[in-house]
Amino acid sequence: MRLCVFTEPQLGATYEDQLAIAQRAERLGFDGFFRSDHYVTFGGDGLPGPTDSWVTLGALARETSTIRLGTLVTSATFRHPGPLAIAVAQVDAMSGGRVEIGLGAGWFEREHNAYGIPFPPVAERFARLGEQLEILTGLWSTPAGATFSYEGRYYDIVDSPALPKPVQQPGPPVIVGGKGPKRTPRLAARFADEFNVPFSSPADTDAQFRRVVEAIEREGRDGRAPIVFSFAQTIVCGRDDAEVRRRAEAVGLDPEKPQDGQLYGTPERIAEQLRDFGKAGASRAFLQLLDMRDLEHLELIAAEVAPLLS
């Protein structure tokens, strides 16, 4: 199972904090550094304030060399699809072809209100997400010298030169994720290179993977590579119970009541939990590290959890 670092910088992290964990994760052999796309914290004061996901990833692209970089997930409400396609393609070039984009419908109304971003009803958000996925993949896969046009309910593209081209072809891997039983699997079947289930038990993760497989069978993949299945889960790892408790309390988690599916405990216990997700079909794990300054946590996972998964 490939292990990725998954961060939530809106909780209170500078660019320097993100750079430090991305570079450390690269040195330790993690597969990827991913960050959320939020503009308001979910708890605490959030100081020094939010950092934009694609501005950050563009900078990290030039200060790393091997680790994959991406969002889990970019909100379709935050950006128009044309400029987003340009930004992601540019960061892909800046990284030498190491970028991935998770794209979602958006859900946190308060951050939209805080920064003047329209927040339409959920049905419209999903419809916009579908059109954005159509446009992003269409722009990236348009042959050089040709143009791309699209007429949708919310977005129209007229004779776009579809530039710049990303390094990865036909485009950077697209991650779709979520727990919805109908719309989300359909979108994944049509557009996703990877499907991610966030913060669920292994049993619920397995059930959602099966829904996506059924949607793929109905939709067909037109010769595309098989979809990658992954999951995201908070991790609290310690060499002993006391260290686990310390790390849990440091990020405001109840050490006596880990949530269903949470990766929680000693390295041996964490590896066992990861294997449970692997049995459900996951080949990639996004490990949510809530304390981005605790680089010893990252060292422990790399040194004592990763070898148990070989």
The CA-CA-CA angle for residues 248, 250, 255, to 5°, reads: 25
Instruction: Return d(Cα 263, Cα 274) in angstroms, integer.
Output: 8
Give pairs for 236-239: CB < 8 Å, separation 24+: 236/262, 236/263, 236/264, 236/265, 237/263, 237/264, 237/265, 237/266, 237/267, 237/270, 237/297, 237/300, 237/301, 237/305, 238/265, 238/266, 238/300, 239/266, 239/267, 239/300, 239/304
3-state secondary structure (DSSP) of residue 83 = helix
**What's the token pair of residue 296?**
């010893």
- 1: tokens are 């199972």
Q: What is the pTM for the complete model shown? A: 0.96
Query: In this structure, what token pair is assigned to residue 20?
Result: 């430090």
Residue 278 burial (10 A CB sphere; 0-12, 13-18, 19+): middle
Give, for all 310 residues of the chain, the pLDDT tens digit. Answer: 999 999 999 999 999 999 999 999 999 999 999 999 999 999 889 999 999 999 999 999 999 999 999 999 999 999 999 999 999 999 999 999 999 999 999 999 999 999 999 999 999 999 999 999 999 999 999 999 999 999 999 999 999 999 999 999 999 999 999 999 999 999 999 999 999 999 999 999 999 999 999 999 998 877 678 999 999 999 999 999 999 999 999 999 988 888 878 999 999 999 999 999 999 999 999 999 999 999 999 999 999 999 999 8
